[in-house]
Amino acid sequence: MSETDPIQQQKITTYIWYAVILVCLTIVAFPTIMLVCVGMVPTAIATFIDRTEDKYSVYCIAGGNFCGVFVYLLELWGSHNNISAANTIFSEIFPLLIMYASAGFGLIIFMVLPPIISSVLQAIAQRRLNLLRVVQTKLVEEWGETLIPADPSTEKLAVDTKPE
């Protein structure tokens, strides 16, 4: 217990600092904070739902979500930048739809892209492996099976590269 205390304390300190910054930002730019808080709700939900350590899904959803929110942040900053302007944005369904749909788009990317990327990486490695095997087969065809070292670990490879 005594070992975990400093970590817990450090976390608490970090959260206190986040709260201080949030309070300061709220005081300085309340409409912006309000827009971000409302617009980034999907990201907050994703953060709570994703229990993995790395939370890769949060990066994707947050990325998409922020793109959607950023459009209206610019609109807010370009208008009066007050609570009323923020309320105007919230009062319409389309901005909310854009913000949340962009978060959904991030989620879709997170669901679709990883298997594709994984397959591509494997295909590249397999292609290199095949090339090496072709080289080995040609060497064995030219110089005979005595090239194959008498190592049990290479037995499978030897069978694969044995010329017909």
Partner 1 sequence: MAEASKSSRISSENGSTENQPALLLGRYYIDANAPIPQLDSPSARAFSVEDRRDIGRNLFALICTPELPPRLDVMDTLKGEHITGLLPLVEWGTVFWPPLGIKIMVVVYEYPMGGNVVDPDTEDTTRLAEYDIPRRIVEPLATAIAELSARGITHHSIRPDNVYFLDEECQKLVLGECVTGPPGFDQTALVEPMHRATSSPGGRGPGTTSDDLYALGVTIFIVVTGHSSLETHSDTDIIYQKFEQGSYASICGNMETHSSLTEVFRGLLCDDPDEQWDLEKLDIWINGRQQPPIKNISPHRAKEPFLFNGYEHTNPKALAYAFSRNVRDAIRSIKDDEFQRWLRHSVGETEMADAINNLLEVASYNKGTTQGRDDYLVFRTVLVLDSTGPLRFKDFSCYPNGFGTAIAVDLLRKGNAKAGIEVILLELFTYWIKAQPSARHISPELKIVFNQSRNFLKSKQLGYGIDRCLYKLNPGLPCQSSLISSECVISIEDLLPALDNVSANIDSKLIPIDRHIAAFIATRFDEDIQPHLRALASTKQQTSIVGMMSLLAFMQYKLHPEPLLGLAGWVGGLLGPVIDSYYSVTTRRKLERDIPKLVRKGSLPDLFEFVDDADLRRQDWDDYNEAKERYAEAHSEAVKIEDRLKEQLAEAETAGERVTAIISVLGTMVIVTMIFIGHYL
Of 30 and 105, nearer to partner 1 (C-beta) is 105
Query: Within positions 4 to 43, which residues make up the interface with partner 1, using CB under 8 A?
Result: none
Please give the Cα distance from 79 to 143 (Å, whole number). 79
Query: What residues contact 16, with CB distance under 8 A and at least 6 apart?
Result: none
Least distance to partner 1, CB of residue 1, Å: 33
Which listed range, 8-16, 30-38, 80-88, 113-121, lies at the site for partner 1 (CB under 8 A)?
113-121
CB 90 within 8 A of CB 79: no
Helices (H), 29-55: 30-39, 41-49
Least distance to partner 1, CB of residue 5, Å: 32
Single-letter amino acid code for the residue at 7: I
Query: Tokens for 130?
Result: 């095949």
Query: Tokens for 156?
Result: 């499978």
Of 76 and 86, nearer to partner 1 (C-beta) is 76
Q: Please give the size of the binding site for partner 1, defined by CB under 8 A.
A: 46
Of 6 and 32, nearer to partner 1 (C-beta) is 32
Residue 133 binds to partner 1 (criterion: CB under 8 A): yes
Please give the Cα distance from 66 to 104 (Å, whole number). 11
CB 72 within 8 A of CB 92: no
Query: What residues contact 154, with CB distance under 8 A and at least 6 apart?
Result: 148
x/- binding map, residues 59-98, to partner 1, per CB under 8 A?
Answer: xx-xxx-xx--xx--x---x--------------------
Residues that bind partner 1 (CB under 8 A): 54, 56-57, 59-60, 62-64, 66-67, 70-71, 74, 78, 106, 109-110, 113-118, 121-122, 125-126, 128-129, 132-133, 135-136, 139-144, 146-149, 153-154, 157
